[in-house]
């Protein structure tokens, strides 16, 4: 064989090799982009070759690009028996003006008895076909905790209910968060919010930021504060805290226990645009993703006498993070 022919064959082999490597890399990248659905059936997800890649948090410089529309946001919603609520939830999401290619969605379905998973999979499948969002992940995790929907606000059920919800949020967070800059916790039954909500809330550039959640009474249409987990400690409430047993857990909005706190809801139209708060609700809550990565989870045992989202607020403060609420940025829970 002439040396020219040998060089030609060598060059051809080199180009073929490069093409194969390129396809492997692009396929890995596509799989990582994750337009796929994972189920979490009480078993660990194994790392496969498909998910093996290096992502440097230093090179993304998460804190340097928080307020740009190039930031990536993960919207997380825990779900339980909400098949009838999903269509409106997805319709509202579709109206967000934040670029969809920078929005990931994550769901965790628990102990469902009403076909929530089937409805969710149908909604998600049509979104995947349209290639609308950056990534969509669906997980299922059952706790064998069944409660009549109408009994969910009974005082006696609160600690158990909130512990399960805390576990659900943690499982969802640990499973869905990858490289995003922000996490928006959004309950499925938050039915009215501005389409610019992500841009608006991110622009405050706070570690933890709660919108003010109101609702209407069904029969009278009277508006009132829904989420009392967005609270501010007072002199009196701090005094009460010093009298409690170490493992005693407080919950808001029950006449069985008066906590003496002030609520974000009551500061609406007070003239302040942004206030520091102590406890947070998870109905509509923006969190800098690094707060979660630094250790901010939803406690199932009391942190400063609080669990779940209020416990997260307390924990974030103890971690030195800024925890704020927006008195005049009102979103609405479905009528009650």
Ligand X SMILES: Nc1nc2c(ncn2[C@@H]2O[C@H](COP(=O)(O)OP(=O)(O)O)[C@@H](O)[C@H]2O)c(=O)[nH]1
CB of 201 to ligand X, least distance (A): 18
Q: Where are the beta strands (DSSP E) in 26-89?
A: 73-79
Given the complex with ligand X, which of 71 and 169 has the nearer CB atom? 169
CB 197 within 8 Å of CB 319: no
**Closest by CA position to 192, among listed 157, 166, 223:** 223
CB of 75 to Mg ion, least distance (A): 16
Task: Count other Cβ atoms within 10 Å, centred on residue 257.
Answer: 13
Using N-to-C axis directions, what is the helix angle for 116-130 and 86-94, rounded to 10°?
A: 20
Q: How far apart are CA 243 and CA 237, in angstroms?
A: 10
For strands 73-79 and 231-232, give the pairing.
unpaired
Residue 8 dihedral angles phi and psi, to the nearest 5°: -60, -45
79 binds, among ligand X, Mg ion, none (CB under 5 to 8 A by kind): ligand X
- State the minimum distance, in angstroms, from the CB of residue 249 to Mg ion: 20
**Which CB atom, from 188 or from 197, has the smaller least distance to ligand X?**
188
Of 140 and 189, which has the nearer Cβ to Mg ion? 189
Contact with Mg ion (CB under 5 A): which of 123, 140, 181, 189?
189
Compute the distance between CA of residue 103 and CA of residue 151 in angstroms, rounded to an integer: 34
Beta partners for residue 284, in sequence order:
186
| Residue 171: φ, ψ to 5° | -60, -45
What is the binding site for ligand X (CB under 6 A)? 77-80, 82, 108-110, 152, 164-165, 168, 187-189
Residue 72 or residue 170: which is nearer to ligand X going by CB? 170
110 binds, among Mg ion, ligand X, none (CB under 5 to 8 A by kind): ligand X
Q: Which CB atom, from 109 or from 304, has the smaller least distance to ligand X?
A: 109
With binding defined as CB under 5 A, does residue 310 bind Mg ion? no
The contact mask relative to Mg ion for 131-170 (x = CB under 5 A, - = no) is ----------------------------------------
Tell me which residues touch Mg ion (CB under 5 A).
189
């Amino acid at each position: 064989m002439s040396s020219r022919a040998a060089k030609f064959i060598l060059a051809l082999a080199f180009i073929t090799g490069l093409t194969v490597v390129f396809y492997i890399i692009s396929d890995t990248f596509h799989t990582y982009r994750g337009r796929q659905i994972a189920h979490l059936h009480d078993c660990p997800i194994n790392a496969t070759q498909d998910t093996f890649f290096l992502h440097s948090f230093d090179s993304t410089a998460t804190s340097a690009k928080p307020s740009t529309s190039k930031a990536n946001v993960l919207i997380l919603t825990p779900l339980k028996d909400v098949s009838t609520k999903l269509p409106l939830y997805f319709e509202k999401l579709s109206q967000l003006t934040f670029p969809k290619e920078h929005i990931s969605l994550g769901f965790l379905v628990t102990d469902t008895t009403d076909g929530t998973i089937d409805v969710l999979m149908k909604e998600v499948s049509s979104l995947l076909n349209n290639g609308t969002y950056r990534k969509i992940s669906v997980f299922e995790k059952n706790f064998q905790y069944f409660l009549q929907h109408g009994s969910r606000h009974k005082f006696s059920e609160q600690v158990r209910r909130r512990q399960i919800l805390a576990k659900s949020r943690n499982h969802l967070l640990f499973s869905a968060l990858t490289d995003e800059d922000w996490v928006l916790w959004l309950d499925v039954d938050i039915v009215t919010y501005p389409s610019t909500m992500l841009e608006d809330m991110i622009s405050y550039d706070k570690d933890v930021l709660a919108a003010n959640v109101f609702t209407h009474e069904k029969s009278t249409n009277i508006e009132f504060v829904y989420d009392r987990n967005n609270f501010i400690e007072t002199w009196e409430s701090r005094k009460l805290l010093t009298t409690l047993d170490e493992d005693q857990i407080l919950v808001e909005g029950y006449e069985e226990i008066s906590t003496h706190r002030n609520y974000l809801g009551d500061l609406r139209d007070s003239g302040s645009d942004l206030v520091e708060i102590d406890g947070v609700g998870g109905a509509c809550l923006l969190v800098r993703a690094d707060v979660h990565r630094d250790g901010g989870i939803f406690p199932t045992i009391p942190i400063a006498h609080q669990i779940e989202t209020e416990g997260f607020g307390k924990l974030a403060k103890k971690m030195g993070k800024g925890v704020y609420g927006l008195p005049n940025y009102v979103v609405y829970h479905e009528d009650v």
